[in-house]
Amino acid sequence: MNLIRRVLPPILAAVMLTGCSAVAETEPASASATPTAAPLITVSVTDGATGVAPDTALRVTSRSGTLTSVRVDPADGGDERAHVAVRGSLDPARRTWTAERTLSPATTYEVEAVAVGAGGRRTTTRTSFTTLSPSRTNRALLGPGDDQVVGVGMPVTLSFDRPVTDKAAVERSLKVTTHPATEGSWGWVRDPHTGRERVDWRPASYWRPGTEVTVRAALSGVDTGGGRYLPRDISIGFTIGAARVNRVDLAAHRMTVSENGQVQRVIPVSGGGPATPTYNGTTVVMDKVADIRMNSETVGLGDAYDMDVAWAVHLTSSGTYLHAAPWNASLIGNSNASHGCIGMNTDDARWFYDRARPGDVVVTTGSDGATVDVGNGLGDWNLTYEQWRKRSAL
């Protein structure tokens, strides 16, 4: 009878644990060990659950034992950006594991947790659940392009198809890593012409040339507001090139082109006339195109012009370019008469175009126009760093 009493309690403990979990396995203590209860593991999401919200707080807890491992992986594999593994952290007592990110939508997850109790009793629990397929989504585009070399004014940009109401949730999912270390902040802006909302990360001052930047956006499963979820993670890496800061003085009709603090060329220019003045302020090269059709109807100027333009360097989403303007040859260097763009002679425009890269800085002064809006193109630098930081949701 004494032998039966010594063996029976561990067997009963194993049976009871199995009854509390979807799949639980326990390893019995040796016959000579003092009988102890096996750890009980619970998962905050019910085994077999469907339609689980991707931003559900996922936790795994061990009672009367410590967790030794927790794995939360998508069952169907596939695109790792859309179906991400979920990492988490243990509390100091190793009793509770908490997920450090959101879950991916429309994904079946498998949870495997192992805990060890007193006397070496080990329990392994396996459960699974499926997240909902949202009826509404949001999509995001992260820039600049992966592996690009960009200028010292280029911010990280994350733009959205739909407005974001829970900006803090989005920001918490973003991480910027730089080498060397660089102070910077996220800030929210809206393009006044396209209406698109975005969050940018810019340094406190222009980037140091040679800086390496990595951006990880753990967006899969983030609710941007009202159940409009983001579908996948995004990541990029880019490098900062030479410091090219170009200063346009429209009162003097000159542009001074500098690289790493050394003047490379002074170029005669012509800016916007009295009715359509060029924006003052700091713009950043967005892209460039060797030949583009410019039509005044696209920028609300009626039928003022419709022509092919060469060596065009793009500065604002509202349509400001630096470009060749041979039709204004007699005005370049002595008068402002364009519809808002900055014109050059063809040879100078070709030279500038060949050197320009996205992220280069163009600072314009001397115009009768307003300062460019912070959201019009990459106008982040028109705010002081303290003003910029206040645009962060965190």
Active site residues: 323, 341
Query: Measured over all CA atoms, what is the biggest interatomic distance in the chain, rounded to whole angstroms?
Result: 114
**Beta-carbon contacts of residue 240 (< 8 Å; ≥ 6 apart):** 149, 150, 151, 152, 154, 207, 208, 209, 210, 211, 212, 213, 359
Coil, strand, or helix at residue 146?
Answer: coil
Let me know: does 318 contact 193? Beta carbons within 8 Å: yes
- Please give the Cα distance from 358 to 264 (Å, whole number): 18
* Tokens, residue 232: 């996948």
- E strand map for 54-162: 59-63, 66-74, 88-90, 96-99, 108-116, 122-130, 140-143, 149-150, 156-160
H/E segment holding residue 170? helix 167-172
- Please give the Cα distance from 236 to 9 (Å, whole number): 56
**Beta-carbon contacts of residue 274 (< 8 Å; ≥ 6 apart):** 336, 368
Let me know: does 121 contact 65? Beta carbons within 8 Å: yes
Tokens 């992260």 label which residue?
142
H/E segment holding residue 119? none
* Tokens, residue 327: 């039709």
CA proximity to 53, closest of 114, 103, 111, 116? 103
* Tokens, residue 185: 């902040």
Let me know: does 161 contact 290? Beta carbons within 8 Å: no
